[in-house]
Chain A
């Protein structure tokens, strides 16, 4: 038995000139909640779609549950559950019929189907809706049903592609609670992608940051934040670019990044630096609107490695194009 849930070696996927996934080597240990973080179009979904054998890699290799994704695709498929980014239920069937259909396709023994379906539905709190048509469900209920469906055949790994996208904050929290419970109670390895850094921070045991198809940083969220060290002082000001340049000149500023009208400066002992910053701003004639102090978040980790915030990147037209090209189900 392989001890790792996932091992990839220089796994790559090219779409003509575009390197959607660029030589990714990754190891995910069993039982972890592993988050693949990055802006839309970074290559998260493409990477996952190769791991679940929906797309053939252009280069490199990967093993999922010890099975090669190209030579043993069938075994990979049996051993994993998938929740796609976009809805993939049959709206006209009931929750139960959707689950039964899945159980049949994944060869769940007939005698066990009912018990398993009931168990899974209970886990995601949909007992009451079991015999209702899916088209009457809310977005959060559909997502929970998809999670239940992904588990009916008892997979060892559950892949979740942006499980909380398009859901309201309350539902998002409850979805993460279900995911954590699953991992804790059933020991299922969970691979998820998200671009909500705060959510990843609170859920994932380990994360990898992916940008332009490459893994640029990897580790525990805590460790990554600690490595960054110190505090982040956010200065909202009128002339932010000037402010950033000036701040970078100070020896005690590790780095300063501008996003929108705000400059984030990483410093040690932030509370002592705020007066200094304000004093220098007054001297240079920079109008400061507000100042805040925080511990580094995964967002700051992302900024540190890419020089941008995750949202800035999304807004760029190049990223949007990458996104469109690779949207699941549209590309043929």
Chain B
């Protein structure tokens, strides 16, 4: 048991070292969300009526944090593919450590770096003038953690199934972007066409974004209890699937 925890810790640490060592990657990953907030958020601030108090920038801030958590953790998961291409995956796979521990180590590492990015974006939003009303900081961290673990697991699952990086564009355009747009991160779902609203109910990020919006601003289009329950369920399901998929990699 002790050995497995050692391995999880080592893998977690590796993710952190790699993340913070590549300064350009840290800055690069924060570029898009920053412009979303600073330009889209401020530019559209009076463009349409919101079902909540506050301006558009405030409305999309939880959405952008959700996006950062999703992008950041998805990428950490998909790095498994790069590890395979560059051979490092083999080193981990032949170690006397269970595959489950490898997935957990990676998931924790990816979640940590994604949460770091999320918190940076929160700070940026704060300086742009967003008026946060954080009721429960612990709940916020737990919720961010769950969203991250869920998407790292999804990334690991995809990476376990893919042969190489060629399919990455497809994942980006046909999975990540629709999940983001459908989540109600950028527009209120309550005034959206029925078909979009229905589709968004199948998007786990919808519950992530609305849950975050509730914790950060006290407003949500989906009851928070529902958000919490759905995210918990998805997190558990996705990590289980990731463990299964990772166990199937032959080497």
Is chain A's binding surface mostly helix, strand, loop or mixed?
A: loop
Q: Say yes or no: is A19 at the interface (Cβ < 8 Å to chain B).
A: no
- Are A78 and B86 touching (Cβ within 8 A)? no
A78: nearest chain-B partner, CB-CB: B96
Q: Say yes or no: is A104 at the interface (Cβ < 8 Å to chain B).
A: yes
- Are A88 and B17 touching (Cβ within 8 A)? no
Determine how close the nearest CB of chain A comes to the CB of B190; give it in whole angstroms. 45
Taken together as a complex, chains A and B put the C-alpha atoms of A149 and B91 apart, in Å, by 10
Q: Say yes or no: is B53 at the interface (Cβ < 8 Å to chain A).
A: no
Q: Say yes or no: is A107 at the interface (Cβ < 8 Å to chain B).
A: yes
Q: A328-B251, A332-B163 known; A54 and B93 CB under 8 Å?
A: yes
Which parts of B79-115 form the interface with A (CB within 8 Å)? 83-84, 86-97
> Which one of B6, B13, B96 has the greatest number of beta carbons of chain A within 10 Å?
B96
Determine how close the nearest CB of chain A comes to the CB of B75; give it in whole angstroms. 15
B3: nearest chain-A partner, CB-CB: A107
- Give the chain A neighbours of B92 by CB distance below 8 A: 105
- Are A55 and B18 touching (Cβ within 8 A)? no
Q: Say yes or no: is A239 at the interface (Cβ < 8 Å to chain B).
A: no
- Give the chain B neighbours of A75 by CB distance below 8 A: 96
- Give the chain B neighbours of A52 by CB distance below 8 A: 94
Which of B7, B9, B83, B250 has a CB less than 8 Å from the CB of A332?
B250
Q: A84-B90, A332-B249 known; A105 and B97 CB under 8 Å?
A: yes
Q: A55-B250, A90-B88 known; A105 and B95 CB under 8 Å?
A: yes
B10: nearest chain-A partner, CB-CB: A104
B-to-A contact residues, CB < 8 Å: 2-3, 6-7, 9-11, 13-14, 17-18, 21-22, 83-84, 86-97, 163, 249-251
23 contacts between A and B (CB under 8 A): A54-B250, A54-B251, A55-B251, A74-B96, A77-B96, A84-B91, A86-B87, A87-B86, A88-B88, A89-B91, A90-B18, A92-B17, A92-B21, A93-B17, A100-B10, A101-B11, A101-B14, A102-B91, A105-B92, A106-B95, A133-B21, A329-B84, A332-B163
A-to-B contact residues, CB < 8 Å: 49, 52-55, 74-75, 77-78, 82, 84, 86-93, 97, 100-102, 104-107, 133, 149, 328-329, 331-332
